[in-house]
Structure 1
Amino acid sequence: MAGTNTLPVVVIGAGPIGLAAAAHLLERSLEPLILEAGPAPAAAIGQWRHIRLFSPWQYNTDAAAVRLLSETGWTAPESAALPTGGDLIDRYLTPLAALPAIASRLHTGARVIAVTRQGIDKTHSRNRNSTPFLVRVEHADGDIRDYQAAAVIDASGTWSTPNPLGTSGLPAVGEAAAAAHISSPLPDVVGRGRAGFAGRTAVVIGSGHSAANTLINLADLATQEPGTRIIWAIRGTSAAKVYGGGDADGLAARGRLGSRLRTLVESGGVELHTGFGIASIEAADAGPVTLTATDGRTLQADVVVPATGFRPDLKILQELRLELDPGVEAPRRLGPLIDPEFHSCGTVEPHGAAMLSHPEQDFYIVGMKSYGRAPTFLLATGYEQVRSVAAALAGDREAADTVQLELPETGVCSSDTGTSCDVPAAASAGFVAETSGGCCGTPEPLLIGFPAGLAHGRSGDN
């Protein structure tokens, strides 16, 4: 950050990863400026606070953040307990954001609309690395202000940019017109959103753990509300990867989730349709919508739940020199390691600033947004990312390059064949993946700290 070290480091997003980034920056005597689009920290998590996480508390807190909290007498939750999204906010993120060291540097209702360099666009190279960043922000009162920064850490997540329901990466024909029949990605079907699902037909689209959570909650609703019908439509030919490893899963709650869903499908409580790629959605003036598959099959529903994953919002970064993987839209060096088409049962090795860097010096995308369109993310991975990035910005290359991460065993390969295997626990930096019998030999980078396929996109989601 030569020539700009009197300026703050802008952190986009005040979710778990953004707040952790701020904590690590403070430990490095760097000045964070945290910009959160929502009305409060972790605004996106507040939309799925009813969801219980697969992972215990030990994987859901950041070391630097805990050190800050511990100075105030904060009591850490039981490490083996499984929090809900609401627990994560109420017992960890809200107290963290309220600390004077964080609160004095946090702006809520501050949506970043562009990041560039002061006075130059992306075509100009001369003195680029010594020129401050310019971060343009729209505040809740409608005021638009520009902030200068020595560096920028984008931890804004992906929650506000869900993937469309249609195939080919495009919305289905009629999808926009049918918006009134399409719910949020993780609706609270037994709580706040109960009236929209009770006694009605719901079609859940998607083959990740977010879909599994909703399907199981709908099954609970159906036992209380007669006439509630549950349909599950997936593009693939098998739901085996969602069922997972059962008792072999290193995260017991995730294993139970898959096993219960399998039982619901086999018993007829959930009606599964495979190979159902949605071509069009037709909404009538009254009554159900009709979903038509690419092969001509149709389904009718009162409400459609999209569990199709998310993608990064890159529009705010179009004046920066980024180097992205052409497939998953993650940082180029990280992309091949997380591409779900080739690594659905693999792991992502511990990584930090070196792997997350771009041609735009001192700019980093971290957290779920760093995974681009890849569907799974590890909260602990994000915490290690920002620890390394803070070290790099402070000029401590040795600490930045010494990355470590311990992950739980998954006990399953998420492949279309449903193959399972026992896998060793993760090693630290520099481990080499070993395979046996064609199965993965290292832990799967599953969603720890967020419902799978989630974790999320307006400023503040991570």
Structure 2
Amino acid sequence: MGDLPVVVVGAGPVGLAAAAELAERGLVPLVLERGEHAGATVAQWRHVRLFSRWAEVVAPAARRLLESRGWRHPDVEGYPTGGEWTDVYLRPLAEALGERVRFGVEVVGVARRGRDRVVDAGRDSEPLTVHVRRADGGEERITARGVIDASGTWTSPNPLGGDGLPALGEAAAGDRIAYRVPNLDDPGDADRYRGRHVVVAGSGHSALTALVAFAELAERQPSTRVTWLVRRNVDAAVFGGGEADQLPARGALGLRARAAVEAGRIAVTAEFRTAAVDRAEDGWLTLVSANGERLEAVDEVVVLAGFRPDLSWLSELRLSLDATLQAPVALAPLIDPNVHSCGTVYPHGAAELAHPEPGVFLAGMKSYGRAPTFLAMTGYEQVRSIAAALAGDSASAARVELVLPETGVCSGAGVTDTPDDEHDEDGCGAPSAAEDLSLSATFAR
């Protein structure tokens, strides 16, 4: 199988980094992307500014490839938007990889050639087959020595429903519910929300980004009401680590959201797990919690409750996934938000990402399953290790050295409602003590 390509699913930041790593080691990468260009999903949030600097979002192997073609690295201290990340880095990287990247092709299945997942005989000697549907409706079968699934989770947002399934009436109210951070600099998006009662559901960084944007809209248009709907308790930790965050822009985002709440521009409804969405004849929505609480007179809902992996097209592969997070079993304990929320992830690579199916790896955001707070740097180190393993360089694959910036928050509560002091402090260090935070930091949106 040495002459066969390694198929990489997804031409996003981690997928293209994987291709650069594979090419640098003399392997043949083939990147398959459903979209029409590199970074197609990143471009869908092109208005959002990253809280990681350019220095942290350019993969080392990709940089070497690009600079060999005359590309100049942007200011390492700058913070790109999703659009800039796509246009300045991802699209040139795909061009540098040339015919090793194909667009307009969707991977609809992966299997071991001639064997379904039940058959043992020959699994170690037969190559993989990647089943592809082209944009013109045609189908292909690509034979591969390995598959790196870096397709991400963007297409599978979590629903509003508090039990992981859509709330009753959620689908019927779909025209009033969005699952992405809106671009309020776009006149159409701004008109949709201006002067309305907007509910933002979620407690991660995407939710904080949307809250800051809506708070600014409410300041310009006071008739705009913003309610923050949170399933857990709201304490200082929900805003992040502030000035203690080792990614300053990420900390500043939380400070701005906290300032907007304290200034009264954002109302908070905590411990609310949505069970139903009722639509009145006048068009207003009412959100009903599992306990029967009601949040009424809602015009628009923005659900930013995280994402989940789509595993449907991997059903014929033997994957070893954690029952809770749907992440590789060896990785799951390192990232489980029920255990810790420090933002500290131990170095991991091919060994932690391997599955019983030889040559198959989930990388990037998809490797985290349902766990939050994934950084591009993590994905770049993952695919460096995976490429080394596929090339037979076991020493390099095992030498995973990655130090990630901590969030400045260390709490055992994670995604649960349990107070911090009821968790084992050894889970990720002692809980943070309350402290006064400066609200002077800025974050460009």
Q: Per the alignment, in what secondary structure is the counterpart of residue 320 of structure 2? A: coil
Partner of residue 243 from structure 1, selected from 239, 244, 247:
239
| Cα distance change on mapping 1:301 and 1:395 into 2, 3 Å | same
Q: Per the alignment, in what secondary structure is the counterpart of residue 230 of structure 1? A: strand
Deviation (angstroms), 1:77: 0.9
1:127 aligns with 2:122: yes
1:263 aligns with 2:259: yes
Deviation (angstroms), 1:436: 5.4
- Cα distance in 2 for partners of 1:45, 1:400 equals 28
Structure 1 residue runs without a partner (length 5+): 420-432, 441-462
Which 10-residue stretch deviates more, 137-146 or 280-289? 280-289
Aligned to 1:298: 294
1:384 aligns with 2:394: no
Partner of residue 169 from structure 2, selected from 174, 177, 199:
174
Deviation (angstroms), 1:338: 0.7
Aligned to 1:148: 143
- Cα distance in 2 for partners of 1:240, 1:342 equals 18
Partner of residue 316 from structure 1, selected from 313, 317, 320:
313
1:200 aligns with 2:196: yes
Aligned to 2:332: 335
1:413 aligns with 2:410: yes
Aligned to 1:369: 366
Deviations along 1:101-151, whole A, 9 cap, x unmatched? x12111111111111111110111111121111111111111121111111
1:54 aligns with 2:35: no
| Cα distance change on mapping 1:267 and 1:415 into 2, 3 Å | farther
Report if the CA contact (8 A) 2:184-2:213 is conserved: yes
Partner of residue 117 from structure 1, selected from 99, 112, 116:
112
Partner of residue 72 from structure 1, selected from 69, 72, 78:
69
Aligned to 1:349: 346
> For this pair of structures, how many residues does the alignment match?
422
Aligned to 1:25: 22
Deviation (angstroms), 1:359: 0.3
| Cα distance change on mapping 1:418 and 1:69 into 2, 3 Å | farther
- Cα distance in 2 for partners of 1:360, 1:188 equals 41
Aligned to 1:358: 355
Aligned to 1:452: none
| Cα distance change on mapping 1:186 and 1:397 into 2, 3 Å | same
Q: Per the alignment, in what secondary structure is the counterpart of residue 104 of structure 1? A: helix
Deviation (angstroms), 1:399: 0.6
* Identity within the alignment, %: 51
Give the letter for the 2:380 counterpart. Y
1:279 aligns with 2:279: no
| Cα distance change on mapping 1:340 and 1:178 into 2, 3 Å | same
Aligned to 1:136: 131
- Cα distance in 2 for partners of 1:401, 1:182 equals 45
Aligned to 2:440: none
- Cα distance in 1 for partners of 2:102, 2:10 equals 10
Deviation (angstroms), 1:223: 2.5
- Cα distance in 2 for partners of 1:335, 1:157 equals 17
Aligned to 2:94: 97
Aligned to 1:457: none
Deviation (angstroms), 1:176: 1.0
- Cα distance in 2 for partners of 1:414, 1:437 equals 7
| Cα distance change on mapping 1:49 and 1:435 into 2, 3 Å | closer
Deviations along 1:383-418, whole A, 9 cap, x unmatched? 000000001001110011101112224322255557
| Cα distance change on mapping 1:435 and 1:370 into 2, 3 Å | closer
Partner of residue 224 from structure 1, selected from 220, 224, 244:
220
Deviation (angstroms), 1:286: 4.4
Partner of residue 82 from structure 2, selected from 74, 81, 85:
85
Deviations along 1:311-342, whole A, 9 cap, x unmatched? 00010100000001111000010011111000
| Cα distance change on mapping 1:47 and 1:436 into 2, 3 Å | closer
Give the letter for the 1:261 counterpart. A
Aligned to 2:153: 158
Deviations along 1:364-397, whole A, 9 cap, x unmatched? 0000000000011111010000000001001110
Q: Per the alignment, in what secondary structure is the counterpart of residue 282 of structure 1? A: strand
- Cα distance in 2 for partners of 1:239, 1:115 equals 44
Give the letter for the 1:209 counterpart. H
Aligned to 1:458: none
- Cα distance in 2 for partners of 1:124, 1:436 equals 45
CA RMSD of aligned residues (A): 1.8
- Cα distance in 1 for partners of 2:146, 2:429 equals 43
| Cα distance change on mapping 1:294 and 1:71 into 2, 3 Å | same
Deviation (angstroms), 1:266: 1.4
- Cα distance in 2 for partners of 1:276, 1:42 equals 35
Aligned to 2:438: none
- Cα distance in 2 for partners of 1:109, 1:437 equals 49
| Cα distance change on mapping 1:328 and 1:207 into 2, 3 Å | same
| Cα distance change on mapping 1:166 and 1:302 into 2, 3 Å | same
Aligned to 2:184: 189
Structure 2 residue runs without a partner (length 5+): 414-418, 434-445
Deviation (angstroms), 1:439: 6.0
| Cα distance change on mapping 1:437 and 1:307 into 2, 3 Å | closer
- Cα distance in 1 for partners of 2:430, 2:94 equals 47
Deviation (angstroms), 1:195: 1.8
Report if the CA contact (8 A) 1:209-1:242 is conserved: no
| Cα distance change on mapping 1:190 and 1:285 into 2, 3 Å | farther
- Cα distance in 1 for partners of 2:420, 2:214 equals 25
Higher RCO, Cα 8 Å, sep 6+: 1
- Cα distance in 2 for partners of 1:332, 1:245 equals 28
- Cα distance in 1 for partners of 2:48, 2:202 equals 17
- Cα distance in 2 for partners of 1:378, 1:328 equals 17
Deviations along 1:3-42, whole A, 9 cap, x unmatched? x111111000000000000000001111111110112111
